[in-house]
């Protein structure tokens, strides 16, 4: 609040001779008018300052007293805060479970099995729903310490791995699951080893292959406790012969680890035989369903091509013996609009 007012010259001059005010010019048109304080005012002002000082002292005493009581109850207050936090978290999880119709995961000890009925990877389903594409819920049971999923590109292998990872993380964080049933166990360690994009601790001039090898080697150091590894197309960035050898070596290494449960995806065929491995494969592109209509889809735009592939791809996990040969990458390339001459040559090579 200001201790003066501005008044037009004429009004200000009317009160200029009164003892209660000081008057001085501000500019050509206005004058500053200030009150002329009496001795009584200064006495009252001094008393006010004393009262404020006393009030501040009393407030400080009260705050100090409250602080001392809080210190005495510090442990209890922390417990109350933790209880409120826990309640809020559990309530939020419960509301989410009701909203999305989630189900409680089933934990069993040392079962060496992961089972999923009607599992939904929500991030992918939401994207497909936006584009009005169909989504196939996951039905799978992985019942061996080391499981290998085979199949060509765009056949759904990575989605299967991400779905299992998503469910395992949600379960161990206390969430319910977007599936009719999810049966698993609790793991001390969990690793998803897949594509290596962006910056990470292995970006020291290494190639993609180098980063992958370093990441897998580091992860294998933690197999002394119950550990879950999900590995997406190991050694994808090297030649197929050495990729097979490295993948077989990894499989053999993991079968010797008692505390390990692992799911590996690969599009490699004719892998070297390794004992105690259970093989699965994605059913993949339904060629019979396509028939001769495949040629009518080649000139579609990329979104339409993906939609067509999605509608003709069977995203179903089947048991396998590890020896079946899967060839539909050329057809997928054709649907995605690959160069005609390139495809013609590739198809002639496949016939040979």
Where residue 269 sits, what CATH number does that domain have?
Answer: 3.40.50.300
Answer yes or no: is 240 within a domain.
yes
**What whole-number percentage of the chain has pLDDT above 90?**
36
What is the C-alpha to C-alpha distance for residues 40 and 244, in angstroms, rounded to an integer? 100
Answer yes or no: is 88 within a domain.
no
Q: Are residues 261 and 181 in the same domain?
A: yes
Predicted local confidence at residue 306, as pLDDT = 72
- pTM (2 decimals)? 0.72
Answer yes or no: is 66 within a domain.
no
Contact 334, 300 (CB under 8 A): no
Q: Are residues 173 and 274 in the same domain?
A: yes
Q: Are residues 29 and 146 in the same domain?
A: no
Predicted local confidence at residue 106, as pLDDT = 94
Q: In 3D, which of 135, 133, 103 has the Cα closest to residue 116?
A: 103
Q: Are residues 30 and 113 in the same domain?
A: no
What is the C-alpha to C-alpha distance for residues 88 and 19, in angstroms, rounded to an integer? 67
Q: How many domains would you assign to the chain?
A: 2
Q: In 3D, which of 276, 269, 280, 278 has the Cα closest to residue 323?
A: 269
Domain membership of residue 15 as a residue range: 5-35
Answer yes or no: is 75 within a domain.
no
Q: Are residues 134 and 277 in the same domain?
A: yes
Q: Are residues 108 and 202 in the same domain?
A: yes
Q: Are residues 129 and 254 in the same domain?
A: yes
Q: Are residues 14 and 147 in the same domain?
A: no
Q: Are residues 129 and 276 in the same domain?
A: yes
Answer yes or no: is 181 within a domain.
yes
DSSP string, 150-218: E--TTSSHHHHHHHHHHHHHHHHTT--BSSSEEEE---SEEEEE----S--TTTTT--HHHHHHHHHHH
CA 257 distance to own-chain centroid: 29
Low-confidence ranges of the chain (pLDDT < 50): 198, 297
Give the tens place of pLDDT for each residue, 39-82: 887 788 889 999 999 999 999 999 999 988 888 888 898 999 99
Phi-psi label, residue 271: left if phi above 0, alpha if psi -120 to 50, beta otherwise: beta
| Structure-block tokens of residue 348 | 């002639």
Answer yes or no: is 138 within a domain.
yes
What is the C-alpha to C-alpha distance for residues 236 and 217, in angstroms, rounded to an integer? 16
Answer yes or no: is 198 within a domain.
yes
Give the tens place of pLDDT for each residue, 202-234: 555 678 888 888 889 999 998 888 999 999 989
Answer yes or no: is 352 within a domain.
no
């Amino acid at each position: 609040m200001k201790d003066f007012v501005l008044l037009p010259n004429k009004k200000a001059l009317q009160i200029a001779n009164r003892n209660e005010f000081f008057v001085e010019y501000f500019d050509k048109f206005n004058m500053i008018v200030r009150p002329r304080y009496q001795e009584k005012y200064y006495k009252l002002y001094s008393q006010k300052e004393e009262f404020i000082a006393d009030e501040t002292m009393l407030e400080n005493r009260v705050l100090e007293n409250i602080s001392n009581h809080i210190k005495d109850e510090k442990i209890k207050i922390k417990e109350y805060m933790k209880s409120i936090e826990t309640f809020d978290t559990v309530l939020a999880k419960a509301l989410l479970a009701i909203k999305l119709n989630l189900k409680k995961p089933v934990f069993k000890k040392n079962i060496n099995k992961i089972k999923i009925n009607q599992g939904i990877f929500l991030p992918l389903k939401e994207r497909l729903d936006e584009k009005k594409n169909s989504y196939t819920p996951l039905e799978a049971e992985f019942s061996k310490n080391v499981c290998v999923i085979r199949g060509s590109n765009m056949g759904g292998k990575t989605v299967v791995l991400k779905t299992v990872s998503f469910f395992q993380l949600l379960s161990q964080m206390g969430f319910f699951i977007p599936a009719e049933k999810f049966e698993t166990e609790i793991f001390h360690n969990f690793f998803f080893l897949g594509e290596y994009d962006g910056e990470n601790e292995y970006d020291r001039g290494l190639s993609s292959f180098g980063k992958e090898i370093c990441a897998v080697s580091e992860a294998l150091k933690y197999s002394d406790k119950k550990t879950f590894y999900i590995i997406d197309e190991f050694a994808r960035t090297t030649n197929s012969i050495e990729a097979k050898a490295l993948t077989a070596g990894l499989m053999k290494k993991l079968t010797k680890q008692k505390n390990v449960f692992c799911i590996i995806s690969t599009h490699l065929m004719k892998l070297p035989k390794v004992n105690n491995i259970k093989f699965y494969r994605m059913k993949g592109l339904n060629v019979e369903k396509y028939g001769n209509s495949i040629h009518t889809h080649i000139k579609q735009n990329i979104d339409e091509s993906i939609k067509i592939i999605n509608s003709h791809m069977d995203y179903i996990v089947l048991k396998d013996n590890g020896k079946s040969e899967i060839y539909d990458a050329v057809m997928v390339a054709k649907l995605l609009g690959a160069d005609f001459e390139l495809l013609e040559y590739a198809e002639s090579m496949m016939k040979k």
